[in-house]
Amino acid sequence: MEERLQKIIAAAGIASRRKAEELIQAGAVAVNGKVVTELGTKADPDNDHIKVRGKLINPRGQQEKVYILLNKPIGYLTSRSDPQKRQLVTDLVGPYAAKVHPVGRLDLNTEGLILLTNDGEFTNLIAHASHNVPKVYEAKVKGKPSEWQINKLARGVEIDGVKTAPAQIRLMEETETNAWYEVTLHEGRNQQIRKMFDSIGHSVVKLRRIAIGFLKEEKIKPGEFRFLRETEVKRFFRLGSQVAAKPASKSAGRPTRKLASKPADALAGKSAKKTANRAVKRAAAGNRDGGRASSKGNRFDKA
């Protein structure tokens, strides 16, 4: 059965659909020996020979799925390769380095939680702004922004010519020289929080991601990782399916300097029900051997 190339590439765990589209346009994808650059081109993953950057990709269903939660230290690049030979987040996951790609980005000087996987559907669910999976950060800011400035950030400010989506911003602590905020984003643009605070004249001194959706892991030390549990993977897809038919909330982004804040696991967005149901079934079919890898199942943590 023919499918769009970007969907096949994502299902093989090579990249997200958006990144797959970039690969196609860059001439990095070939079908049966012919380079394809036109978006929307279809192929049969079971019968056609599909190569990305010269390597034959595995059709979906033949590749073990891996889901990793890593506590990224400062100084590691969120990428699978780097011309400057800097340290990569994939260097921290041992034998799985060649199998997985980062889901979204944390810049070089930002630490905290990041997911890595080879499941393109999972990547799309977590990283794509339309699915509205919240990411929560702790930001140490130089100086003390006024309440008016924080309200402005929460409503959205223009960065690189595009207005940011509404965010939740909660004051945690402040001194004479600094302030600490908890910031919840529902999109993931390049260095977004740093640029947001720069726009009001208060630079970010330190930034750490503390939650991705319902995942909050205080026990993982910087540089360490764990595998997601089967129930956690299924929960992400199930929540995506449940909110697919719900309209997006219009009240998101109202800031407060009080301690009240919406929970980080209020997932919203639109993930197709067929995708979610297929992923749940796939996760349920994973191995149950106490967390060890299996050539036919998925790699889950003990649960």
To which H or E segment does residue 121 belong? Answer: helix 120-127
Residue found by looking up tokens 């970007």 in the block: 6
Distance between CA atoms of residues 232 and 214, nearest Å: 9
Q: Which residues are catalytic?
A: 107
Distance between CA atoms of residues 237 and 230, nearest Å: 11
Structure-block tokens of residue 213: 């959706």
DSSP per residue, 49-115: -EEETTEEPPPTTSS--BEEEEEEPTT-BSSS--TT---BGGGGGGGGTTT-EEES---TT-EEEEE
Instruction: Give yes or no for a contact between 134 and 211, defined as CB atoms under 8 angstroms apart.
Output: yes
